[in-house]
Structure 1
Amino acid sequence: MKTNMYSIEIANIVKQFLTEDSWNFSFDEEHGIFKFGLRIKGKIHSLKYFISIRTNEIIVYGICPIGVDEEDNKMMMEMAEFLHRVNWGLRNGCFEFDFRDGEIRFRSYIDCDKTLPSIESIKNSIFCTAAMFEKYGAGITSIIFAEGYAQEAIAMCEKKYEEELYSILSEIGDSDLAAMMTRQAESQEITEEGADGEKLPSEEIPKVHMDLFGEKKMEVE
């Protein structure tokens, strides 16, 4: 008798969230895979999602609708460098790049070993993936459509993100944090180095933390 190679209990929790939140999805009962689409803001307008349920884990994949021309070596190398630079320091998930066909995707992971996932953790994994494509989508498209370079693309994305965050802080009246960000941006000419070129300890570099999700509601297709 054939048995499922995934946890039905975990799958039911994911199904509960998607159903209660009015997502339009399909579920492959044989392989334990959810499929759906999500519209997002930015240069990349939509993502295709695959949520793979395993016996003790959930893997969330957000697939970019555009890819790199695998026959264009320069573009392939620039995209690989760009995504590698983006991945540096990410706490949850990472971009993946298929050198066979130029596909780009973001992968997030939920550990369910000896525990069941919360609705919030499932939601965060889905929207974290969307937030990453919103933040770095302009860099991806600049490399694919404008023959851009990796370092320029990531600098553009980071600057745009800082400007948007500064604008939000200014609107809500958090002048002290906004001013701190302004000073930090002005000091980026030497990035993480001191005035004499000496590398600063990471604990001395100002850190700004922001809830990427907040009350933001994205459109589901």
Structure 2
Amino acid sequence: MIENKGKIFQKIVKFFKEDDWEFIELEEEPILRMEFPGQNGQLNCYAKARESQQQFVFYSICPIKVPENKRLEIAEFLTRANFGMVFGNFELDFANGEIRYKTNAEVENDNLSSALIGSLVYGNVMMMDHYLPGIMSVINGNVLPVDAIAQIE
């Protein structure tokens, strides 16, 4: 199955095997699903190959969904977190409350290295894990987004 999904996907699979990650390959798309045990929470992650666009995309998913009544506050928190961020960004799905952190790279001319994959993957999960206490404090603790960001940054 892996060999039918393209060069980018094959390099992604090779990286995660060599780095001893446990993962599941999704059948319908060139995507790997895995977990990362952060210091502040367990993260679900997805590594996606976009072969025709020559892109590698990595997502880490916040372990809880934002309740509807807290989505505007979390949107403010994530907007404040994203401001000035050069490496990746947070996304919020207003429909279901999912928060994810995304990193990606254009990989033209077959230039996707294990070092680049590692940088995108580990940088990603560290950012989500770093901001997770602030996210949780806004959702659970009635902390204002501006105060939660000040505590993190």
Q: Once the two structures are superposed, what CA deviation does each residue of 1:69-119 show, in whole Å capped at 9, x if it has no partner?
A: 11x1xx211100110010011112100001111110001101112233110
2:60 is aligned to: 62
* Structure with larger RCO (C-alpha < 8 A, sep 6+): 2
1:149 and 2:144 matched: yes
In the alignment, which residue of structure 1 is the partner of 2:19?
21
The separation in 2 between residues aligned to 1:60 and 1:133, in whole angstroms, is 12
1-structure distance, mates of 2:149, 2:135 = 9
SS of the counterpart of 1:58?
A: strand
**2:43 is matched with which residue?**
47
Give 1 or 2: higher strand fraction: 2
Q: Does 1:79 align with 2:74?
A: yes
Residues 62 and 132 in structure 2, CA contact (< 8 A), matched pair in contact too: no
Residues 39 and 47, structure 1, Cα contact 8 Å, conserved in 2 = yes
Secondary structure of the corresponding residue to residue 110 of structure 2: coil
Contact persistence 2:74–2:135 (CA under 8 A):
yes
Give the greater-gyration-radius structure (CA): 1
SS of the counterpart of 1:143? helix
- Superposed displacement of residue 32, structure 1: 0.3
In the alignment, which residue of structure 1 is the partner of 2:90? 95
Residue equivalent to 1:10: 8
SS of aligned partner of 1:114: helix
Q: TM-score, normalised by structure 1?
A: 0.64
TM-score by length of 2: 0.91
1:123 maps onto 2:118 in alignment: yes
Preserved CA contact (<8 Å) 2:43 2:62: yes
Determine if contact 1:35/1:48 at 8 Å carries over to the other structure: yes
Match of 2:107 in 1: 112
Consecutive unaligned residues of structure 2, counting only runs of 5 or more, are none
Aligned-pair Cα RMSD in Å: 1.6
Write the deviation string for residues 12-42 of structure 1: whole angstroms up to 9, x where unpaired: 1111111111111111244100110010112
2: CA distance, partners of 1:86 / 1:60: 18
Cα distance in 1, alignment partners of residues 5 and 55 from structure 2: 9
Instruction: For 2:96 and 2:112, locate their aligned partners in 1 and report how far apart those are by CA, in whole Å.
Output: 33
For residues 129 and 147 of structure 2, what CA distance do their matches in structure 1 show?
A: 17
- Check conservation: 1:59, 1:109, Cα contact below 8 A: yes
Matched, 1:32 2:43: no
- Cα deviation, 1:105-158, whole Å, max 9, x if unaligned, reads 001101112233110111111111111122211110001111211100000111
